[in-house]
Amino acid sequence: MNRILSIDIGTSACKAAVFDPDGRVVAAESVPYDTDYPHPGWAQQEPEDWWRAACRAVKQLTAAVDPRDIACVGVDGQSWSAVAVDAQGNVLAPTPIWTDRRARQECDDMRRLMPEEDWFRVDMNPLQPGYSLPKILWYKRHWPAVYENARWMLQSNSLIVLRLTGKATQDLSQGYGLHFFSMRAGQWDRAALEKTGVRPSLFPDILPCHAIAGSVTEQAARQTGLLPGTPVVAGGLDAACATLGVGVIDPGQTQEQGGQSGGMSLCVDHCVGDPRLILGYHVAPGRWLLQGGTTGGGGALKWLRQQICPELSFADMSALAETVPPGSDGLLFLPYLAGERSPLWDPDAKGVFFGLTYAHTRAHMIRAVMEGTAYALRHNIEAAAEAGGQVNVMRAMGGSANSLIWTQIKSDVTGKPIDVPSSDTATGLGAAILAGVAAGIYKDFEDAVRRTVHVQRQHAPQAENQAIYETGYQKYRALYARLAPMMAGRDEA
């Protein structure tokens, strides 16, 4: 029993993989699911789809890999879920995902209950509708039957843990989505929770991410092919697991996120919050992550491909981007296709192509999207520096890290060197490391990173491109500042 299973509940799919102790993928499966957009500002998923996808993916793996060899299961998941389940573990409603913006009024209500700076002193995160607590307050107002019948409010990974083990859990790294979570103590702040009027019994006790939450039940074993009794850890936030999976465990090390969303996770050894950014616990003990999370990452290029060039692969798009000079001949892109998270926190922000002429081609549009997401990354890095967090070398992960040109653009725009370990498996590897530490396969997190994370290539900023991107970045910042009132409908001029 020296192999580890990871289950990743991402935004677009469940990815499951079996790793050996050296971090090599033995087998992997991915099962997609849909996002529903029933009203403007809404983005929701069916948690039952997550479970069905997990069962299907794991069942395929256990048909290929002897389940007796699986020592432990690690689970990670997307942020800011609010999965309402009853006492039998049945899901009561779709859950708004991290891009959902329906709970804006509930954020205003929270500001009336307590000044925003007081909420920030507790949780060290801004009041924004995408977070878990405003969504629960939205249930209470708009879906009262869901709220009243709920036994637990769970995160995405904790729903999978519940289904595997029968145990309701809350891991440390996902606590920050609930604004009554004390960032300094790592526990629920009962006084802040009382302010909300939400039932305290809805929230499980908080577990370390690598703690054994329970073991696979007979029912879950039949659904997944796992052996009954296989231990399962509490798991954690997908971005935090990805950060661990690229080997970021020391202060100053930074994960650059190139999945559906974009951004960065800077490892720090003390609470260093800023209202423009996101602060949460790392899945590695004794560390926090100062995060910049943007809506425009790989998803922006995916959107462009679907709408403009569906016949092209992402490799084809990268090749086209290389034919265009830095700066995209004056074409600029704001990647705010679902509003924007940090550091703008503007749910009304919109995506924009600026400077289009007859001379521009779809190759220019592809490169402009890559550059726009890089500008968003730099904006977050600058905010982190102003908060006292210094980014050194970044380590890239996610699908965009497979693109040499996109990774080089990010290095040039930010002025930071970027290392690339195994980009596609980092999130699952991070969840697997949690399980491996719990199972005793690794003696500690340092041992796990040393054995499993290996840099494949490196990018250094190119001086000749930095001046071009400096001009582009200043225009990027100015363009949003000028358009923001119009985006919000405050200025039609």
Domain count within the chain: 2
Quote the pLDDT of residue 491.
62
Quote the pLDDT of residue 493.
45
Last residue of a domain, one of 220, 239, 258: 239
Instruction: Indicate whether 16 and 90 sit together in one domain.
Output: yes
Last residue of a domain, one of 194, 211, 239: 239
Q: What is the dihedral of CA 476, 482, 486, 491, to 10 degrees?
A: 180
Across all residues in the chain, what is the average pLDDT? 96
Judging by beta carbons within 10 Å of its beta carbon (0-12, 13-18, 19+), is residue 287 exposed, middle or buried?
buried
Quote the pLDDT of residue 25.
96
For the full predicted model, state whether its pTM sits above 0.75: yes
Classify 216 as helix, strand or coil: coil
CATH of the domain at 390: 3.30.420.40
Q: Is the pLDDT reported for residue 441 higher than 80? A: yes
Q: Is the pLDDT reported for residue 60 higher than 60? A: yes
Span 65-115, pLDDT tens digits: 999 999 999 999 999 999 999 999 999 999 999 999 999 999 999 999 999
Backbone angle region of 252, left / alpha / beta, with phi > 0 → left and psi within -120 to 50 → alpha: left
Quote the pLDDT of residue 398.
86
Q: Is the pLDDT reported for residue 192 higher than 70? A: yes
How far is residue 265's CA from residue 247's CA, in Å, rounded to a whole number?
Answer: 12
Span 105-148, pLDDT tens digits: 999 999 999 999 999 999 999 999 999 999 999 999 999 999 99
Span 275-289, pLDDT tens digits: 999 999 999 999 999
Distances (CA, A) of 413 to 95, 472, 480: 36, 9, 18
pLDDT-based confidence at 259, cuts 50/70/90?
confident
Q: Which residue range forms the structural domain that includes residue 139? A: 3-239
How far is residue 231's CA from residue 217's CA, in Å, rounded to a whole number?
Answer: 10
Where are any strands of DSSP class E within 10-133? 13-19, 25-32, 44-45, 70-77, 83-85, 95-96
Instruction: Indicate whether 218 and 278 sit together in one domain.
Output: no
pLDDT-based confidence at 392, cuts 50/70/90?
confident
Q: Which of 212-226, 349-363, 382-396 has the lowest mean pLDDT?
A: 382-396
- Give the amino acid at 131: Y
Instruction: Indicate whether 158 and 289 sit together in one domain.
Output: no
Distances (CA, A) of 246 to 27, 83, 230: 19, 29, 26
In a domain, 445, yes or no: no
Last residue of a domain, one of 177, 212, 239: 239
In a domain, 327, yes or no: yes
